[in-house]
Amino acid sequence: MALVPAPTLWILAAIRLPFLTAPRRAGPFRVTLFAAVASTPYVPDKYKAVDPLMGVRNRVCLATLLFLRLGF
């Protein structure tokens, strides 16, 4: 289930990239980008690879929630 949202959000962020230059349309790009970054570690293979590198168990979850909070 986690394999679908991450690539979808990255594709949406790439589609919204041209709107970055318009000040009024930059907000949705940032939200999509932060959501894509936040949902990427929820892919099980990436979560298992990154979690031990951060030192403490479940720090990836904390970083993910931080990015979600920044996006919204």
Tens digit of each residue's pLDDT (9 = 90 or more) over 5-64: 788 888 888 888 887 788 787 888 888 888 887 777 777 777 677 767 766 666 667 777
Amino acid letter, 43: V
DSSP state at residue 72: -
Residue 34: what pLDDT? 81
Residue 26: what pLDDT? 80
For residue 63 the two structure tokens come to: 């970083």
Rg of the chain taking only CA atoms, in angstroms:
13
* Model confidence, pTM: 0.60
